[in-house]
């Protein structure tokens, strides 16, 4: 457990998330930041482990990393950001500095900036796309707050705290894993630390549109449901206009005492978003002559028996799992260009669907998916085993779920919220995940909810596969991971596998696969060869056709990715090799097996 975990409760009292940051007046803080590595967290604790970050200026000799500079040569200040090395933001520190490749711990980021404070009553916020994992944020030596969770956005108000010249922002980012965290200490991906997504200063009116939900009704394709939330002192009784010029839609709604305005707008002949034609409308939200614009697609989504219906038509989700990693450059993927590369490979594979594993990916992924017509499964890192009976752990998981939904709930591409991956069944775990499912549905009545479950061979049978998990009753789509032929026998075993699904719901096989080192060729019976991986895919797609409820597949995984669990020298070397594309961008033989299967499914179901 991180030392900083001892003060976790206050981190959940976070400020409300401001959505659609890209659509607002802002100044980027991306670029080069100074940094100091602090493995003993001595900038946060004194030698008695007393927290001192709030009172650092009461004793200048203890102002370890809060930006104080010595006024006299006799003063003792044991740091100097101006002499420090640089890191690029947004990026992780592991892939930028060889000496930090395996580093897990605290790093202090420092950046100077000038900013003319607004004189018209506007408010300022500092916004972080993500920081892995725990971030303590300071402006001009004053602590703004703490955020927990490595993959969701957060912001702090800085109105009245910014001066025209000589501002400095300091962020202590600590990616130490902890037993009570989400995810916990044991994962099968690289624990990239740092300010991994965009950082910016946002300028908004005194009372501004903080949040909104604009989606086609799940029950009526001729109605758009609108909810807008204002933030400010005078938020009650305010008028908000919603305009979609191309669709000739104009609507007006008035906020209640909580600053929330809701409306139902009738529409006709709306062009619907779908993978074949991912149509997006420019949507304007107007409050007191301030216009906030977004590009939103409209589509219906529901399940009916064993079908998943998009715009009333059955779909087959031709998918692939993706980690948020740029395998060619190395490190955490963080840009729109990274998203286009990864989703472009998925499109080349024949996908109309991706599973973003095992945590919320960059906002760019959902926005680019909107543009490309690729449907999305978005997930929180409730992964393997966490502390199911720990209230703080649940609050942490729920906060990450809420922030993920708040950010991406207007993206047409996102069709499934996932609350977990491969979690062992127990009464405590099921109660935990049921609460997560109910919370997701209360925030978003439009999308489907699922979780990646586990399967096993039914005792006393030769190859009957079952999913004995009570969570099946509560999800909209039954999803499970299976690795027959890799972790369970050899590919020939797939010939015997049949699935006994006990619920009349759609089924997604959310993982299958095998490891192969690109360029390593040999017998199809030899593990780690491209031929072995190819053979497993050939037998798996045959097996998939014996699942009558199957409505989607997301094999593991699009590209090889870093994992410290994978130690086999000469083969893995710190990489999970189940990718269909290598870290050099080369396609393995199994890529083409899956592409051919998806061509067949496209003919059967349409794009």
Provide the percentage of residues in the chain whose pLDDT is more than 70: 95
For residue 404 the two structure tokens come to 């993920």
pLDDT digits (tens, 9 = 90+) for 73-117: 887 777 889 889 999 999 999 999 999 999 999 999 999 999 999
pLDDT of 55 higher than 60: no
Are 147 and 128 spatial neighbours (Cβ–Cβ below 8 Å)? yes
All domains in the chain, ordered by first residue: 3-204 (2.60.120.260), 218-298 (2.60.40.10), 303-605 (3.20.20.80)
**Partners of 88 in the β-ladder:** 32
pLDDT digits (tens, 9 = 90+) for 560-589: 999 999 999 999 999 999 999 999 999 999
Confidence of residue 231 (pLDDT cuts 50, 70, 90): very high
Higher pLDDT, 538 or 15: 538
- Which range among 55-64, 73-82, 83-92, 598-607 shows the weakest confidence by mean pLDDT? 55-64
What is the rounded distance in angstroms from the CA atom of residue 595 to the CA atom of residue 573?
A: 28
Among residues 124, 153, 150, 148, the alpha carbon closest in space to that of 136 is found at 148
When pLDDT is averaged across residues 458-465 and rounded to a whole number, the result is 93
Three-state SS string across 469-516, please?
A: CHHHHCCCCEEEECCECCCECCHHHHHHCEEECCCCCCEEEEECCCCE
pLDDT digits (tens, 9 = 90+) for 130-140: 999 999 999 99
pLDDT, position 68: 66
pLDDT, position 65: 55
Is the pTM of the predicted complex or chain greater than 0.85? yes
pLDDT of 2 higher than 50: no
pLDDT digits (tens, 9 = 90+) for 7-27: 344 444 468 999 999 999 999
Q: Is 123 helix (H, G, I), strand (E, B) or coil?
A: strand
What is the rounded distance in angstroms from the CA atom of residue 345 to the CA atom of residue 532?
A: 22
Confidence of residue 607 (pLDDT cuts 50, 70, 90): low
For residue 521 the two structure tokens come to 């060729």
Are 87 and 111 spatial neighbours (Cβ–Cβ below 8 Å)? no
pLDDT of 433 higher than 60: yes
pLDDT, position 50: 85
Mean confidence (pLDDT) of the chain = 93
pLDDT of 370 higher than 80: yes
pLDDT of 523 higher than 50: yes
Element (H, E) at 146: strand 142-148
When pLDDT is averaged across residues 45-56 and rounded to a whole number, the result is 72
Confidence of residue 461 (pLDDT cuts 50, 70, 90): very high
DSSP notation for 326-361: -TTT-SB--SHHHHHHHHHHHHHHT-SEEEE-SS--
134-139 vs 167-174, strand pairing mode: antiparallel
Are 25 and 65 spatial neighbours (Cβ–Cβ below 8 Å)? no
């Amino acid at each position: 457990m991180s030392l900083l975990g001892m003060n976790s409760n206050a981190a959940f009292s976070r400020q409300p998330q401001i959505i659609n940051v890209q659509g607002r007046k802002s100044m980027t803080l991306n670029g080069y930041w100074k940094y100091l590595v602090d493995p003993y967290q001595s900038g946060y604790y004194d030698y008695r482990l007393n927290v001192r970050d709030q009172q650092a200026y009461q004793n200048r000799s203890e102002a370890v990393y809060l930006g104080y500079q010595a006024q006299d040569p006799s003063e003792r200040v044991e740091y100097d950001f101006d002499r420090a090395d640089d890191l690029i933001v947004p990026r992780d520190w592991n892939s930028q500095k060889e000496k930090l490749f395996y580093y897990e711990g605290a790093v202090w980021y420092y950046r100077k900036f000038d900013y003319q404070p607004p004189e018209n009553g506007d408010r300022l916020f500092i916004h972080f796309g993500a920081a892995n994992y725990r971030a303590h944020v300071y402006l001009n030596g004053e602590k703004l707050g703490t955020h927990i969770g490595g993959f969701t956005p957060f912001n702090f108000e800085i109105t009245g705290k910014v001066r025209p010249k000589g501002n400095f922002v300091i962020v202590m980012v600590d990616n130490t894993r902890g037993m009570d965290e989400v995810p916990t200490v044991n994962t099968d991906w690289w624990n990239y630390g740092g300010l991994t997504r965009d950082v910016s200063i946002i300028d908004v009116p005194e009372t501004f549109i903080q949040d909104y939900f604009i989606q086609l009704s799940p029950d009526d394709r001729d109605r758009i449901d609108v909810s807008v939330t204002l933030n400010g002192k005078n938020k009650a009784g305010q008028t908000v206009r919603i305009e979609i010029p191309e669709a000739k839609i104009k609507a007006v709604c008035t906020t209640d005492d909580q600053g929330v305005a809701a409306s139902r707008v009738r529409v006709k002949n709306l062009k619907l978003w779908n993978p074949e034609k991912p149509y997006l409308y420019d949507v304007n939200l107007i409050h007191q002559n301030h216009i906030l614009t977004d590009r939103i697609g409209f589509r219906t989504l529901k399940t009916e028996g064993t079908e998943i219906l998009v715009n009333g038509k059955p779909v087959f989700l031709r998918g692939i799992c993706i980690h948020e990693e740029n395998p060619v450059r190395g490190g955490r993927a963080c840009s729109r260009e990274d998203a286009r590369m990864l989703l472009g490979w998925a499109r080349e594979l024949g996908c109309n669907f991706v599973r973003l594993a095992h945590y919320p990916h960059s906002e760019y992924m959902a926005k680019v998916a909107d543009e490309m017509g690729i449907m999305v499964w978005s997930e929180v890192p409730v992964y393997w085993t966490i502390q199911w009976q720990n209230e703080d752990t649940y609050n942490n998981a729920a906060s990450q779920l809420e922030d993920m939904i708040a950010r991406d709930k207007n993206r047409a591409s996102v069709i499934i919220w996932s609350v977990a991956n491969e979690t062992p069944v127990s009464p405590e775990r099921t109660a935990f995940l049921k609460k997560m499912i109910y919370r997701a549905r209360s925030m978003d009545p439009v999308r489907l909810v699922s979780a990646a479950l586990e399967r096993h061979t039914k005792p006393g049978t030769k190859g009957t596969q079952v999913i004995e998990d009570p969570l099946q009753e509560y999800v909209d789509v039954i999803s499970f991971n299976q690795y027959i032929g890799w972790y369970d026998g050899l590919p020939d075993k797939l010939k015997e596998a049949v699935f006994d699904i006990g619920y009349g719901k759609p089924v997604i096989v959310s993982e299958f696969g095998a490891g192969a080192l690109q360029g390593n060729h040999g017998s199809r019976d030899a593990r780690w060869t491209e031929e072995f991986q190819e053979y497993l895919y050939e037998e798996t797609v045959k097996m998939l056709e014996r699942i009558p409820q199957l409505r989607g597949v997301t094999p593991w995984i699009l590209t090889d990715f870093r994992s410290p669990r994978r130690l086999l020298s000469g083969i893995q070397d710190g990489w999970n090799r189940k990718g269909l594309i290598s870290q050099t961008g080369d396609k393995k033989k199994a890529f083409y097996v899956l592409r051919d299967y998806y061509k067949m499914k496209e003919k059967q179901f349409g794009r």
